[in-house]
Amino acid sequence: MPYLFTSESVSEGHPDKVADQISDALIDHFLAFDKESKVACETLVTTGQVVLAGEVKSNTYLDVQKIARDTINKIGYTKGAYMFDGNSCGVFSAIHEQSEDINRGVDRAKKEEQGAGDQGMMFGYATRETENYMPLALDLAHRILIELATLRRENKEITYLRPDSKSQVTIEYSDDNIPQRIDAIVVSTQHDDFGSDDDMLSKIRKDIVEILIPRVVAKLPEHLQALFNSDIKYHINPTGKFVIGGPHGDTGLTGRKIIVDTYGGKGAHGGGAFSGKDPSKVDRSAAYATRHIAKNLVAAGVCDEVLVQVSYAIGVVEPMGIFIDTYGTCPFNMTDGEIAQKVSEIFDMRPSAIEERLKLRQPMYSETAAYGHMGRKPETISKTFSQPNGEDVTLDVELFTWEKLDYVDKVKQAFDL
């Protein structure tokens, strides 16, 4: 019998994502001037206030207030009417030195003996149902909000948009797990107060359905465009009004959107957030590494869908183990346990090896903090960072290295494909 599956996304202006972006902007600035920085920073945002807290071990000094304000302004919170804007909000910092009890288990005389920055399990997932090997419902939910943010910044076709928004997509699947159609789309977008409640809701609904959705569909491959039809149930600003939003409407905290950040409820999640953590924290680095493994396994033809788990003990170099679940989609006679054994031979999962393989000591994290850490396009960009003493550094930074299909040939060779 057909079934429905739903995933959601939130925009860069969502309070939790504002917090994530500030935390990752701090990470990038620390790494830009001291690539061996150890950082775990949390951010809280609310009406007119930003609170920064966490632990840092670094040889550089930063103006964390300026970094927070610049990030907020870049997102689009630049008006007093929002009750939260980068130029006037208060920024309180309670960042302090990293505990030596934690650092002693991570830093070692030899880099390759670096221990895991924490205990826990991390998951990576990939599926063949989209070109970027991501679950379709989440991919569409992200695309809707990316296009909505583009419309907001253009300020031409739709002129009343504010930064905070959410989306949700429900897809009907067949018994053999093939997407059949889009059943429902939810879009809630913050907006200016420009008329009566009924007039605003009517205008917003019309613009979302007739302007936003066609722009999203036009950028999709034909087989996905076919999933859109006139029978889709649209829920646009279901409460009828969304003027009060952002950190004024809801307090935001770093790390509260981990399912949006990963696979939209498909696969699994170990529970650890990513943003605000340097790559010695395996919550982040090993989650990227397992995604890299999963994507290369599917692309190489080992399976059509796969979940990869790795687990660590704090301060211990080697992982506790690697688990593989191919959901019965492996086309040849090999068990998931046998696949896991080969994976452990192909991919070195020691923390230092992950950092080196995926080049994780670059200031590459601000771009991950909205619209998902997985399924993004690997590319190299130029970024400039500034210190309070006026020193600037411009770096070429490789983004989303865990999305590369650079191990496909190695996987094929190992599996005789």
416 annotated binding-site participant: no
242 annotated binding-site participant: yes
215 annotated binding-site participant: no
To 10 degrees, what angle do helices 408-415 and 336-346 make?
130
Judged by DSSP in three states, 6 sits in strand
CB 276 within 8 A of CB 373: no
In whole angstroms, give the CA distance from residue 89 to residue 72.
10
223 annotated binding-site participant: no
256 annotated binding-site participant: yes
14 annotated binding-site participant: yes
Judged by DSSP in three states, 15 sits in helix
Question: In 3D, which of 367, 242, 353, 280 has the Cα closest to residue 102?
Answer: 280
359 annotated binding-site participant: no
164 annotated binding-site participant: yes
CA 365 vs CA 100, 152, 178: distances in Å: 25, 24, 33
165 annotated binding-site participant: yes
Judged by DSSP in three states, 286 sits in helix
273 annotated binding-site participant: yes
110 annotated binding-site participant: no
36 annotated binding-site participant: no
Spatial neighbors of 352 by CB under 8 A, at least 6 apart, are 111, 112, 113, 114
Locate tokens 């076919």: which residue?
Answer: 226
92 annotated binding-site participant: no
CB 30 within 8 A of CB 37: yes
Stated length of the chain: 417
Known binding residues for K(+) are 42
Annotated binding site for L-methionine, which residues? 55, 98, 250, 281
Q: Which residues contribute to the annotated binding site for ATP? A: 14, 164-166, 241-242, 250, 256-257, 273, 277
Q: List, as residue ranges, the binding site for Mg(2+).
A: 16
Known binding residues: 14, 16, 42, 55, 98, 164-166, 241-242, 250, 256-257, 273, 277, 281
